[in-house]
Structure 1
Amino acid sequence: MLDSSTVAIRPFNDSIYKNDSAFIYEEMPLQTETWWDRMWRKFWKFIDLLFSTKGGKQFFKWGLPAIALCVLGFFVYKFTGANKSGFFSKNGDTAFAYQIDEENIHELDFKTAIDKAIANANYRLAVRLLYLQTLKQLTDRGLIDWRINKTNAIYVQELAGNEQQTSFIQLTNYFDRVWYGETTITNEQFHDVQQSFIQFQQQIQS
């Protein structure tokens, strides 16, 4: 059945849309690519190309974890102070060849070890041995309680009220500068400080 109704044609009134902000669209200006954007685009394109190859996939699988472990090991080494603990050393020492722990500090032959360090002109090591020998003697006299996890500052505090505390502070400061600060000392300088250690040890033994 045919539709014979009359269709009323109304003109299109575009003013309604021109005045309504919801229907106003502005063309977005094209953004110019900077050299920084181009550099990163090329970089990531290179990375994508690199790891799409067989060699790149092998490197991603084995090389990156190895590098990550090396970086982690470096930071652990630096921030735990392992380079100052005596197991490693600069200046060509194999530094403290002894693992000083709570058992063998009382068994170590300090005289032999000190004499050997002096004969090798390893005065940093000799100072460390003299300091550890002093800690052992202080412990033997009951003046401090030596423990592997204690700091030198704690030993100084444990001597509070003792007439030897001031002398011990001076020896501790010297040891810290030589061992941790890696101060270079001459033969003459070492023998001066060695006498200070000997005098202090004689005083606490008397």
Structure 2
Amino acid sequence: MISFSGNALALAPIEAKTEITQAKQKPIKTDQSDLQKVKFGDLKEKYSGADFIYEKRSAKKNAWDRFVEWFNGLFESNTSKNTQDTIDMVKTFGAGLLILFVVFLIVKSVMNKEGRWIFGKNSDKGIIRHEEIEKNLLLVDFEKLIRETKISGERRLTIRYYYLFLLKKMATQGFIAWDPEKTNSDYLRELVDPQLKTKFDYLSYLYNYIWYGEFEIDEDALQRAEQAFEQTIKSMPL
């Protein structure tokens, strides 16, 4: 009896454990439905935008980049550090010379268009800037300037010099009192001679129309205006 009872007690836990294990195991469900293939036909179009390009593309080279590349190519070689430093100095110096040359061309262009160096009639060493002509009216050789502008084809500037030449002639002959601050109307009121006053009024109109109006004139119009100025200037006593 004791032996039977012991075997019964020993088998009881094993049977209980087997029942628990079987209770935990659940049947596996199997999907028996048909599989459908999915096609992705628009992947290339969808992912071809700029946000999906991971390759680094070099920027287009401008004229300066091409010049630097060419300049660097002149010195491409296996060199020591000292030689490389010398090359870098030469490159910097060359770039500086290039910049200075460009600045020189710009200044030269502006001076040729807007300014002119003028030599005084009474002094070979007196150099007067174009914008200071009116301040030194009595020293300027306008006949020389008129010849130069006619050769260079600067018709409007020729008319300007003719008008200033007329003012200089009237001032030296005592018809007007020259002052850079005065206007053409001021000089017109100072003139006493009625004929000279009429001529000056007409020539002032021509000057204002051509110079301040910035109207380009042809050769025929220049000759007519030149003739009117010459007649008035020569009519005044020396």
Q: CA 1:168–1:193 in structure 2 vs 1: closer, same or farther (change >3 Å)?
A: same
Identity %: 28
Q: Which amino acid aligns with 2:166?
A: T
Within the candidate set 194, 203, 224, 1:162 is matched to: 194
| Native 8 Å contact 1:124 1:185 kept in 2 | yes
1:94 paired to 2:111? no
- Structure 1 distance, partners of 2:134, 2:203, is 21
Q: CA 1:101–1:172 in structure 2 vs 1: closer, same or farther (change >3 Å)?
A: closer
1:198 paired to 2:230? yes
Unaligned runs of 5+ in 1: 1-91
Q: CA 1:177–1:95 in structure 2 vs 1: closer, same or farther (change >3 Å)?
A: farther
Of Structure 1 and Structure 2, which has the larger fraction of its residues in helix? 2
- Structure 1 distance, partners of 2:134, 2:201, is 23
SS in 2 for 1:179: helix
Q: How far does the alpha carbon of each residue in 1:66-94 deviate from its partner, in whole angstroms, 9 at most, with x for none?
A: xxxxxxxxxxxxxxxxxxxxxxxxxx931
1:176 paired to 2:208? yes
Q: Which amino acid aligns with 2:178?
A: W
Task: State the shift of 1:101 in Å.
Answer: 3.7
Q: Who is 1:115 aligned against?
A: 147
| Native 8 Å contact 1:93 1:122 kept in 2 | no
The structure that has the greater radius of gyration is 2
Matches for 1:69-108 after TM superposition, within 5 Å: 93-94=113-114, 98=130, 99-102=132-135, 104-108=136-140
- Structure 2 distance, partners of 1:161, 1:200, is 12
| Native 8 Å contact 1:177 1:183 kept in 2 | yes
Aligned length: 115
Q: How far does the alpha carbon of each residue in 1:116-150 deviate from its partner, in whole angstroms, 9 at most, with x for none?
A: 11111101100000000000000011000111111
Where in structure 1 do 4 or more consecutive aligned residues deviate above 3 Å?
Answer: none
- Structure 2 distance, partners of 1:95, 1:188, is 26
- Structure 2 distance, partners of 1:164, 1:201, is 10
| Native 8 Å contact 1:137 1:201 kept in 2 | yes
Q: Which amino acid aligns with 2:133?
A: I
Q: How far does the alpha carbon of each residue in 1:47-73 deviate from its partner, in whole angstroms, 9 at most, with x for none?
A: xxxxxxxxxxxxxxxxxxxxxxxxxxx
SS in 2 for 1:194: helix
SS in 1 for 2:178: coil
1:185 paired to 2:217? yes
SS in 1 for 2:148: helix
- Structure 2 distance, partners of 1:155, 1:93, is 30
